[in-house]
Amino acid sequence: MKLLQYTARYFGWFILLALPVTIGILFLTTRFIINQEQNELLEDNGIALTRQWNTNGLPADRVLLLANDLIEVKESALVPEKIFLDTTFWNADENEYEPARKYIFSTHIGQKDYLVSITHSVLDQEELLFTVLVSVALLIAVLLIGVWWFSRFAARRLWHPFYASLFEIAHFKFSDKSSLTLPETTVEEFSALNRAVNTMTKRIVDDYIALRDFTGNAAHELQNPLAIIQNKAELLLQNDQLDSKTLGEIADIHRSAIRLGRLNKALLFLHRIENGQFPVAEPIDLKKTMLEKMEQWQERMVAKNIAITTDLQSVVTNMNPELVDALIGNLLANAIKYNHPQNGWMHIGLSQEQLIFRNSGAPLSSPAATMFQRFKKGNPAQSNSPGLGLAIVKEICQFYGCSIIYTVDGEVHEVTLGNIQIH
């Protein structure tokens, strides 16, 4: 969940809690004030009635309706305190009960004690209270929602430079060579963050480029000495003055020089892909390249007696021919090399969406995803190959933005390339 959503959520909870509490307090205080008012009014009425009855004598009816107030007079010896009650009141005109305030008090009229109750309709006051509450609630709600919305809006504006920086960082690639330059913003914290990230990436990019160039230069500089070792060894192998033990040792030197040469060549190739030294792309039919490569590996497949099935569609993509050659060549070579020594199987599927190599082979000793790492071997005992084939494949895929997944299910290996159509 986003930071903004978190703030909004807390704010929402606060509103949900604050709104009823505020309205409750408002209700109680308003109600208290109204009741106080009513009580005073009723007390005044009571005093006025007592005074009138003392002068004019008690009315004939002991229950009478006077100016919408219901007045009851009872002879009573009891002298209660003044009592105020909430009650209801039957309005015959409206034909309904109405909320009312009842005032009970004792008084002394002409030598006798009376208990008098005055019931006064408070319908108007209740309506007023309701109207006040609703309008105040509306006001608070509008205010709170307004504040909430505004804070969201403000936060979004304020956080915008942060999200912009985040986007830049997420889309930053070391291989693009340029270092990251995040802009200055008006928010001090974000500016500080951007500056820190800028400095950090600049240092990393510089290190990365230096390391990459070092690999490339080292590999290139190694070619000549390697050629000398290899060729001198070849020359020595022709020398019939040497005994067979010496010749065997020279053959070992020769073999190692060849291995080193191959490793170096693969590293140089990787280096050139990373440096974008394969810019020229042309329309290439992957099916055609695949068939050529299969023809090239035909004898090896026959020698290992691999059962091969294919489902190839013609797929035209825009890539560099040398890279396509390396891509398909390496995948096919792997499917053959790491297959069972005899009687394995292989399936190649090529459609507009994806290219799949599925083959039998010994289970991997490390997770399939790590197979794309340089110098990583599926089964170290099995080969003396440098383990750069899949790294090259991965690098080519990255160069063209294709996806690549390697999965292993027991003895079934599958490499899937997606997004293979480049325009």
The binding site for other proteins (CB under 8 A) comprises 220, 223-224, 226-232, 234-235, 237-238, 244, 247-248, 251, 254-255, 257-259, 261-262, 265-266, 268, 272, 277, 299-300, 303-304, 322, 333, 337, 341, 382-386
Q: Are 27 and 19 in contact (CB under 8 A)?
A: no
Task: Work out how close the CB of 354 gets to other proteins at its nearest, in angstroms, rounded to a whole number.
Answer: 25
Return the number of the residue (133 or 229) whose C-beta is nearest other proteins.
229
Provide the minimum distance between the beta carbon of 310 and other proteins in the complex, in angstroms, as a whole number. 20
| Nearest distance from C-beta of residue 313 to other proteins, angstroms | 27
Least distance in angstroms from the C-beta of 388 to other proteins: 10
Which residue is associated with the tokens 């021919």?
321
The smaller minimum CB distance to other proteins, of residues 323 and 350, is found at 323
Contacts of 269 (CB under 8 A, 6+ apart): 326, 392
Measured from the CB of residue 151, what is the shortest distance to other proteins in angstroms? 60
Nearer to other proteins, 20 or 225 (CB): 225
Return d(Cα 126, Cα 43) in angstroms, integer: 20
Query: Nearer Cβ to other proteins, position 242 or 312?
Result: 242
Nearer to other proteins, 71 or 388 (CB): 388
Closer to other proteins by CB, 152 or 262: give it. 262
Residue closest to 103 by CA, chosen among 113, 92, 124, 89: 89
Minimum CB distance to other proteins, residue 327 (Å)? 14
Single out the residue of 152, 142, 128, 177 nearest to residue 4, CA to CA.
152
Report the SS3 class of residue 128.
helix
Nearer Cβ to other proteins, position 223 or 313? 223
CB of 421 to other proteins, least distance (A): 23
Contacts of 23 (CB under 8 A, 6+ apart): 133, 136, 137, 140
Least distance from other proteins to the Cβ atom of residue 292, Å = 14
Nearest of 240, 256, 38, 64 to residue 128 by alpha carbon: 38
Compare residues 132 and 333 and give the one whose CB is closer to other proteins.
Answer: 333
Cβ-contact 376, 370 below 8 angstroms: yes
- With the C-alpha atoms ordered 417, 322, 274, 399, is the resulting torsion angle positive or negative? negative
Pairing of the two strands 403-409 and 345-350: unpaired
Which pair of tokens denotes residue 258? 């060849």
How is residue 399 annotated by DSSP? H
Task: Give CA–CA dist 373/393, Å, rounded.
Answer: 11
